[in-house]
Amino acid sequence: MAEDTFIEPRASEEPYTRIKTLGRGAFGEAVLYRKTEDNVLVVVKEVNLSRASEKERADAEKEVDILSLLNHTNIVTYYNHYIDGTSLLIEMEYCNGGTLNDKIHAQKELFAEEIVIWYFFQICSGMSHIHDCDIVHRDIKTLNIFLTKSGLVKLGDFGIATILKGSKDMAESVSTLQLLETL
């Protein structure tokens, strides 16, 4: 895991105020917090390591490593991570516009063509950066595409992402792509 950003929480302080749970996964949840220091809203992905398998633990650690490598306007910003008892806590940017999935289901009519193009451009921009870093997201879907109220699109949830380590990984990715193209 990325060692340069590891911090130990101070037991005597309450640096965060819990606001609400945003979502739940197989071995954790995403929770909205307000930082007491500067009043900023953040999302903390809480991964329960005691209930996680070895693979799930490795995936959680890999997610931190991957998030720490990515810095792009169209990718949810990673701030920090730490261990609290048996939980890995990953602090990230809060996207106040919900998910693209929420937006699609709330939409009563077709999206304007300009909006579709703008969202598509931003998704491609984020994906391009991810791929330039030799990372494969592997879970792009409307639930993992976050929005801000100012109209920005942010790719998130790198829980099953992987870093390509050489030609073997690249060959597997290409083979999968070729298989998908034949379907």
* Both tokens assigned to 51: 């209930």
CA 110, CA 116: separation in Å to the nearest integer? 10
Reply yes or no on whether 139 is catalytic. yes
CA 43, CA 128: separation in Å to the nearest integer? 24
- Residue 45 marked as a ligand binder: yes
CA 45, CA 158: separation in Å to the nearest integer? 11
Q: Is 156 exposed, middle or buried (0-12, 13-18, 19+ CB in 10 A)?
A: buried
Catalytic residue (one of 38, 139, 157, 169): 139
Catalytic residues: 139
Annotated binding site for ATP: 45
State the binding site.
45
